[in-house]
Structure 1
Amino acid sequence: MNKYRSVKEVLYADQKDMDGTPLRQPFPSIHADRIDPFLLLHHIRVQVPDDIPLRHAGVGPHPHRGFSPVTFIFEGGVHHRDSRGNNSVVRAGGTQWMHAGMGIVHSERPPADIHDTGGVQELIQIWVNSPSGHKMDQPSYFPLHAADTPVVMSADGLVKVRVVAGELNGVKGPIPAITPVNTFTAECKKGGSMYLPIPEDHHAFIYLLDGELKVEGASVYTGFHCVVFREDGEGIGFTAEEDTRLFIASGRPLNEKIAANGPFVMNTETEVLQAMRDYQIGKMGILIED
């Protein structure tokens, strides 16, 4: 087995519009499918308008079933409310991890003091698929603040990695993911290098929010690019050509059939239709924001 995984493909995160919110989405796209068990990646950086009430900003109440929508916050903050009574603000450096399970309704708004901190929200949201046996679990929500997120530093002291879920160099993330996944965020100073071991049965990728990164055994990549690796090495290595922020993920593929429609990800079309009906008749709960 090689030390370094080779690069399978490089995906550029095209700009899209989601109900008026500009975002970047490297996958899925017309060029690339999902990266099992990861269904979708959104990178959002917006200036929150100051001429509308904050209760109308961000994303209003909407349902999910069958997967975990996870938000990694890089700037600003996110105020989460849901139909199970959870109500929490998580700020930069933190993560909001929600197992949608059988169904939940939630909203994602800017915090009340967003304009006191510059008015910018920057985040990555990734959808992590749930295996068929857990799609109808009871929903759960895990807010993880920056102060409670373990950190691993590179040997040169120039790369800081926050371990959210999974494990890196013996340091375990606090989030109880349903299946084996690693999710890390990293801040690299120019010249910083690091090697990250990856389980051999995991699919793996990195996404650059900005900066410039030299991947060992491959090329130099810049912001808004997602680098997907083959399962042919023990890990990945990189060196920052300039200050760079990146998201790193790996996970054991589920290899299950996917039937998806909007916020519902199931295994069959019948299950998706049932999810729609359950939402319409209120089985996923109701969220009334205060």
Structure 2
Amino acid sequence: MNKSRTIKSILYATPMDMGGMPIRQPFPSAKAESIDPFLLLHHADIKVPTHVDVKHAGVGPHPHRGFSPVSFIFKGGVHHRDSRGNNNVVYAGGTQWMNAGMGVIHSERPPADIHEIGGRQELIQLWVNTPAKHKMDQPSYQPLTADDTPKITTTDGLVQVNVIAGNLGNTTGKIHTLSDVNTFTATFQKGGKYFFQIPESHNAFIYVLQGKMQVTGDSEVEGKYVAVFQNDGEGFELEALEDSTVFIGTGEPINEPVASHGPFVMNNQTELMEAFRDYQLGKMGVLIEE
């Protein structure tokens, strides 16, 4: 019998305004600064305005260094461009995983056909920290479509888990990561149940986008809440009390100092100042959107 983890804390995804874009942010917050190696989670569910050219909608060019900003797309799509020449659209069910490394400028816009496919963008952006030894690696970009994402479906057909990075059972995700990280998305029909077996050393959390879950036969977690687990077991069981969509993140703690400001995440203030200087000197490249 697998020993289930207990819940350490339940965090509400507070509504926030990010440059005019409404998002929700369960962490960092007063209750949880971060869940090492995960630094930040944003959940956006946005109706793309019809009076704005999609070329100017979404998030315009901005820099990053020292971590991986990752977008998990649930509705619509995201058009990614960056200063390394990557130019790609990924639609619902897909993932855009960028290791910013030594520095890159990117934009995340709605795709040109967003209004033909429903006009909504729903996504999670998760910031995954990079170990110090890899913070100045060359940037890399990994797109993953829904069709190419490995999936686990329960025998009763009530649960589908998409394995994006890391391992779950005998299924391995296709995304290459710079530390030991698992990221899964899952859809549950009411009554669906699944036990997520993960390494005991991993920090772990779930975020319920919508629905209501019973976690490890104990607490109920509703939509727009994160449950953070204690490191006291081999995994956790999720059972859907309603039809639900859930994000699951687990990772080996990096256990290094974090110095972050705006779009950069380094290990100390000197490295942060160098990041701002290098960006201003144009060392992270130039992104001209066509």
Say yes or no: TM over 0.5. Answer: yes
Paired amino acid for 1:256: E
Q: CA deviation at 1:3?
A: 1.2
Q: Which residue of 2 aligns with 1:266?
A: 266
Q: Which residue of 2 aligns with 1:172?
A: 172
Check conservation: 1:4, 1:217, Cα contact below 8 A: no
Q: Deviations over 1:204-228 (max 9, x none)?
A: 0000000010112421111000000
Q: Deviations over 1:88-132 (max 9, x none)?
A: 000000000000000000000000000001100000000000000
Q: Which residue of 2 aligns with 1:289?
A: 289
Identity, % of aligned pairs?
61
Query: SS of 2:234's equivalent?
Result: strand
Structure 2 unaligned regions, length at least 5:
none
Q: CA deviation at 1:169?
A: 1.1
Q: Which residue of 2 aligns with 1:206?
A: 206
Give the distance between the partners of 1:70 and 1:284, measured in 2 at CA: 19
> 5 Å matches for 1:64-103?
64-103=64-103
Change in Cα spacing, 1:2 to 1:189, as seen in structure 2 (3 Å) is closer
RMSD value, Cα: 0.9
Q: Which residue of 2 aligns with 1:106?
A: 106
Q: Which residue of 1 aligns with 2:218?
A: 218
Q: Deviations over 1:54-101 (max 9, x none)?
A: 111000000000000000000000000000000000000000000000
Q: Which residue of 2 aligns with 1:156?
A: 156
Q: Deviations over 1:221-272 (max 9, x none)?
A: 1100000001101111011011000000100000000000000000010000
Q: CA deviation at 1:2?
A: 6.0
Paired amino acid for 2:219: S
Give the distance between the partners of 2:72 and 2:230, measured in 1 at CA: 25
Q: Which residue of 1 aligns with 2:45?
A: 45
Give the distance between the partners of 2:93 and 2:217, measured in 1 at CA: 30
> 5 Å matches for 1:226-245?
226-245=226-245
Give the distance between the partners of 1:267 and 1:216, measured in 2 at CA: 35
Structure 2 length as normaliser, TM-score? 0.99
Give the distance between the partners of 1:110 and 1:94, measured in 2 at CA: 14
Give the distance between the partners of 1:166 and 1:96, measured in 2 at CA: 15
Q: Which residue of 2 aligns with 1:246?
A: 246
Paired amino acid for 2:214: K
Query: SS of 1:26's equivalent?
Result: strand
Give the distance between the partners of 1:7 and 1:224, measured in 2 at CA: 16
Check conservation: 1:79, 1:109, Cα contact below 8 A: yes
Q: Which runs of 4+ in 1 moved over 4 A?
A: none
Give the distance between the partners of 1:226 and 1:254, measured in 2 at CA: 21
Check conservation: 1:45, 1:121, Cα contact below 8 A: yes
Give the distance between the partners of 1:69 and 1:133, measured in 2 at CA: 18
Paired amino acid for 2:34: R
Q: Which residue of 1 aligns with 2:59?
A: 59
Paired amino acid for 2:253: P
1:4 aligns with 2:4: yes
Give the distance between the partners of 1:274 and 1:60, measured in 2 at CA: 23
Paired amino acid for 1:124: I
Give the distance between the partners of 1:146 and 1:217, measured in 2 at CA: 30
Structure 1 length as normaliser, TM-score? 0.99
Give the distance between the partners of 1:106 and 1:243, measured in 2 at CA: 35
Give the distance between the partners of 2:238 and 2:93, measured in 1 at CA: 22
